[in-house]
Amino acid sequence: MRKFAWILLLLVNDVFAQPVTSAQVRQRLIRNIEETAHNFDGVMGLAIIDLQSGEEILINAQSTFPTGSSIKIPILIELHRQAAAGTLKLTETLPITNRQQVGGSGVLLHFAEGGSQLSLHDLSILMIALSDNTATNLLIERLGMDRINQTIVDLGLPGIKLQRKMIDLAAMARGAENIATPREAARLLELLAQGKVINTEVSAAVLKTLRIPKSSPIPRLLPASTTVANKPGGLEGVACDWGLIEIPNRPFAIAVMTTYNGESAGADEAIARISRLAYDYFSRLARSTPYGARVPMALIKTTR
């Protein structure tokens, strides 16, 4: 009888023994992100995609937000798509004239009338690295707004729409805004990471440009050694950043978009905090065994 009771106790303990899993860490991450979004003085939407498991963290992710300069990623994609198709060459040059110069960010605004010609490639670097609005508008004219939007539709992302040039105040007043949902923005970065934006060569070329370091919220609180491919955007009352954080063994895509921001909203700080929370979570998983023990990254990469 005593032996039977002992066996029964072992069986009961075995049934109720539950392994510690990373899901518990994930739930804490979600709570912290939700708290940051809830306390934000404005409206925030975000999407985070685990590129290893495909799991997502979504808040207002299907809502439509203004993109600011994050919309320049689809323009960059279309440039490389047309170059790959042979309909243009990246070495083709365009003149810089007063007619095309617009304000906001960038340096081409200060160039002399007709004093320079820049290649399409170099214009794209200025568009992404310095968020140059004149360079962006030159590329939109050369590539075609309809063609840029069609490529994004072909990628299965119809919620991302380029509807006006940069600093087109009349178009803004008419309600023609560049828009996207956080879910589709993050999905675009996921497709780039998978080499599925047109092909692996185009995806790699786009990511190479997006990896150029820039002042932006997503990498702000991350270790300097972290590889980030991103493009921030901002308008009055709007702040966004779309990026790929390339943690070895555990990369993730992230898009945080905000609008109706108050005067002291601290949008960039909120985006940076969410990026850091996600980074801490994924970098922890990257080095952990299924039971949570941390081992050297080099060892994990050779055994998984």
CA distances for 225 relative to 14, 102, 255, 300, angstroms: 44, 35, 21, 19
Taking only the tens place, the pLDDT of each residue in 217-271 is 999 999 999 999 999 999 999 999 999 999 998 999 999 999 999 876 699 999 9
Residue 55 included in any domain: yes
Reported as a pLDDT band with limits 50, 70 and 90, residue 112 is confident
Domain annotation covers residue 9: no
271: CATH: 3.40.710.10
Can you give the pTM of this predicted structure?
A: 0.89
**According to the model, what pLDDT value does residue 297 have?**
62
Residue 3 lies in a domain: no
Work out the average pLDDT over 120-135. Answer: 96
pLDDT for 298 equals 63
Number of domains in the chain: 1
In a domain, 199, yes or no: yes
For tokens 């009338």, the residue is 113
| pLDDT at residue 174 is higher than 90 | no
Domain contains 10? no
Range of the domain at 95: 20-303
Q: What is the pLDDT of residues 198-219, one digit of tens each?
A: 999 999 999 999 999 999 999 9
pLDDT band at 289; cut points 50, 70, 90? confident
Q: Does residue 204 lie within any of the structural domains?
A: yes
DSSP 201-269: HHHHHHHHHHTS--S-HHHHTS-TT--EEEEEEEETTEEEEEEEE--TT--EEEEEEEES--TT--HHH
**What is the C-alpha separation between 277 and 267, in angstroms, rounded?**
15
Asked if residue 5 belongs to a domain, the reply is no
Alpha-carbon distance values, 276 to 84, 185, 272, 293 (Å): 36, 19, 6, 21
The C-alpha atoms of residue 258 and residue 44 are separated, in whole angstroms, by: 4
The two three-digit tokens of residue 203, written as one number: 């995806």
Q: Is residue 299 part of a domain?
A: yes
